[in-house]
Amino acid sequence: MNKVFIAVIIISLVGIAAFWIYSWQNNASGETHETESPHTSEVRQKALKADGLSTGFPDPKALQEWKEILEEAGYEVIVLEGDQVNLTLYEHLTQYDLIILRVHGGIGKITTPLYTVKFNALFTGVEWSNEYESLRNEGLIARGHPFFINKTYVAVKKEFFAEKLVGRFSNNSIMIVAGCFGLYTEDIWRVLSSRGLQMYIGWKGEVTPTHMDQAVTFLIRHVFQEKIEWGDAVYLTNKNIGPDTLSGETMDFRKHR
């Protein structure tokens, strides 16, 4: 190994939180997204409402409204929280047509004598332990330390999705990363897009939970109740809700071309 080589990895988290687990025993391939109601022949799409901030930054009123809006729109809504958010969930995100990840986001950099590479990561709700060292050595995950929390968590990098993601997303798939740094780089979006994800919505920098929850509520109301296209709804959200009062950040999106 070249002793001149210096690698510094810094993960700094902000504003929001972890994840939830997901039971996928009935669909291990990750390629089927629709279920049939037990009482009708109606085919329902699946939505994931994953709240990793339920302990540190709870907002039950907003989260209940999200669930009601999605159910009224015809989705089967899966609600997952806290330490249920693990690597298995990230491996099987393709099981869902609509994904809302209310999670911590992390940023970092790898510095060598020749270059510096910036990256971002999505936190799980799983506390760090030595059993994850091998995956970190492979460059798939990082050890994340949220601000104001005296714990470290497993954080997933783009390389994890590139290597571990099962199946492909559906043709109308949407992911909302309700947390900090979801679009700090476009690396995670590019990997997910290559596997069929149609739209990725999030923030480039820090965002407070209060602002984030308000923005997501406004967004999905206008998409599902006012029948506004996602991109237009992001624009209206920023216009009506405004930027985060502390960070100045606004919601952004990337769309598959």
Q: What is the pLDDT of residues 4-54, one digit of tens each?
A: 333 333 333 333 333 232 233 333 334 445 555 444 446 689 999 998 778
What would the two tokens of residue 249 be? 């950040």
Using DSSP, state whether 135 is helix, strand or coil: helix
Please report whether residue 93 resides in a domain: yes
Q: Is the pLDDT of residue 145 over 50?
A: yes
Cβ atoms within 10 Å, residue 235: 15
User: In the block, which residue shows the tokens 């994850």?
Assistant: 132
* Mean pLDDT, residues 132-146 taken together: 95
More confidently predicted of 207 and 2: 207
List of residues 6+ apart from 161 with CB closer than 8 A: 90, 188, 191, 192, 195
Q: Which residues of 7-31 are buried (b: 16+ CB within 10 A; e: fewer)?
A: eeeebebbbbbbbbbbebeebeebe
Among 242, 203, 208, 217, which residue's Cα sits nearest to residue 17?
Answer: 208
Is residue 161 in a domain? yes
Which structural domain range is residue 74 located in? 12-21+43-203
CA of residue 14 relative to chain centroid, distance:
14
Give the strand pairing for 153-156 and 116-127.
antiparallel
Whether 73 and 228 have beta carbons less than 8 Å apart is answered as no
- Taking every pair of Cα atoms in the chain, the longest distance, rounded to a whole number of angstroms, is 66
- pLDDT value, residue 132: 97
Domain-embedded: residue 123: yes
Q: What confidence score (pLDDT) does residue 218 get?
A: 98
Question: Is residue 167 in some structural domain?
Answer: yes
- Kindly state the DSSP code that residue 128 receives in the 8-state scheme: P
Please indicate, yes or no, if residue 151 is contained in any of the structural domains: yes
Q: Which residues pair with 32 in a beta bridge?
A: none
Token reading at 108 = 């970092």
Instruction: Assess if residue 210 is contained within a domain.
Output: no
Q: Are strands 98-102 and 76-81 parallel, antiparallel or unpaired?
A: unpaired
Q: Residue range 237-251: average pLDDT?
A: 97
Evaluate if residue 250 carries a pLDDT over 70.
yes
Q: Is the pLDDT of residue 256 over 90?
A: no
Our count of domains for the chain comes to: 1
* Domain annotation covers residue 170: yes
Cα 239 versus chain centre, distance:
23
Residue 124 belongs to some domain of the structure: yes
